Amino acid sequence: MSLELKRIIDQVSKEKGVDKKLLISALEDAIRSAIKKKIGAAVDMEIAFNDETGEIEAFQYRTVVAKVFDPELEISLDEAKKMDPESAIGDSLGIKLDVAAMGRIAAQSARQVIMQKMKSAERDIIYEEFKDRVDKIITGNVQRFEKNAVILNLGKTEAILPASEQLPNENMRRGDTVRAYVTEVRKSSKEPQIVISRAHPSFLAKLFELESPEIADGTVKIMGVAREPGSRSKIAVSSTNSDVDPVGACVGMRGSRVQAVVQELRGEKIDIVPWSPDPARYIYNALAPAECSRVIVDEANQSLEVIVPDDQLSLAIGKNGQNVRLAAKLLRWKIDVKTESRAAHLEDPDFHTLLEIPNMTESVADRLYEIGIKSKALLAEADPTVLVQQAHIKRDLARAMIESAQNETMSISGEAEG
């Protein structure tokens, strides 16, 4: 039986990758716990595993006394002399216990403690192995689905791909091979929980690093990533070597590199943007394919006012505002896009007099300005029918605005005469 125990320890240590010393320590703790349950919690003992015989040896230590008050810790001189004739008062006598006699309770306790230690050791080993894989891409197979999360089998352990970190336009099936970005490795009481993502901006960056040797060796640097997973992304790149085109390094021959990333991301559109330390130049690049006329930079508030030709507004803003939204994420600045005509309105002092009229909005003021009513004074002289037909303003509102403009104009004239 003793040799069988030694064989089991060696086998478990080899198969599970658990340190043999840790298993032996767990076994010793289990036997110590079982003995204390059997003969008393205060007992003074020493437990050791004999590697040569494969036996667990247990010794109970009791102090030799003239009169015994605590049998767990003391032994009478007469009884001690039967075991060791040279015993004397005050000696500490070690008595070997029959571990096998501890019976079923000892065996169950040993098994329980060993299993706990073994699982804990396995968790530690897996945690140590995967903690350094944070910010890296790993590959696993879809094992099962838990609610909306996908559980990947990584071999020794599992990883969780939460619903929020999945691409909205992909469907996974059991057995599929999946690549993902490791965002976190948590050490929990159950098992190390490896959290992965396919929606994280860094997943896109790492995919380009795998496809582009220039990024991998540091010649081309990724300066920023903005993603709306599954839909569209922007990635800003720069080069440390003037002879290397950073955009070309990401696109690849005939678009091979960028297409490999697009395919991995299930058709997500990717704009590769040349980075610039100048915010104005950077936003010119980031809003492509739209063209910009000029950019007004407010560094104190980290905001940009971008002026575009009138026919470029929808292109600059993008569908549902996506293009300008991604550009703002990429630069981490606030961006306000205006057409050239709108900017011209705002630069005209007379236009701002229109905005003083009650219930006037910038949209209505823009329409008035475009039909030639460019100031409060001109509005006061306007025909309501012109506002209805040409500026598409409701008749009641048109009359009210004209009346307000007339009253304010008369008030100003009266003050001037006075």
Angle between helix 362-370 and 340-347 (nearest 10): 100
- Decide if 2-128 and 201-340 have a common fold: no
User: What CATH homologous superfamily does 134-197 map to?
Assistant: Nucleic acid-binding proteins (2.40.50.140)
3-state DSSP of 79-94: HHHHHCCCCCCCCEEE
Phi, psi of 115 (to 5 degrees): -60, -45
CATH of domain 348-417: 1.10.150
> Which SS3 state, helix, strand or coil, does residue 393 take?
coil
Q: Does residue 412 surpass a pLDDT of 60? A: no
Half-sphere exposure of 167 (CA within 13 A, CB side): 25
The arithmetic mean of pLDDT across residues 203-211, rounded, is: 96
CB 92 within 8 A of CB 63: yes
- Report which secondary-structure segment, H or E, holds 22: helix 20-39
Q: How far is CA 330 from the centre of its chain?
A: 18
Beta-strand relationship, 92-97 and 137-146: unpaired
Q: How far is CA 86 from the centre of its chain?
A: 70
Q: How confident is the model at residue 23 (pLDDT cuts 50, 70, 90)?
A: confident
C-beta neighbour count of 279 within 10 angstroms:
19
CATH of domain 2-128: 3.30.1480.10
Closest alpha carbon to 262 in 288, 285, 233, 242:
233
pLDDT in tens, 327-340: 999 999 999 998 88
Residue 22 pairs in a beta bridge with none
Q: Percent of the chain scored above 70 by pLDDT? A: 90
User: What CATH homologous superfamily does 201-340 map to?
Assistant: K homology (KH) domain (3.30.300.20)
C-beta neighbour count of 147 within 10 angstroms:
6
Q: Mean pLDDT of all residues in the chain?
A: 86
| Overall residue count recorded for the chain in this entry | 418
Q: Sketch the domain layout of the chain as residue ranges.
A: 2-128, 134-197, 201-340, 348-417
Q: How confident is the model at residue 218 (pLDDT cuts 50, 70, 90)?
A: very high
pTM score above 0.85: no
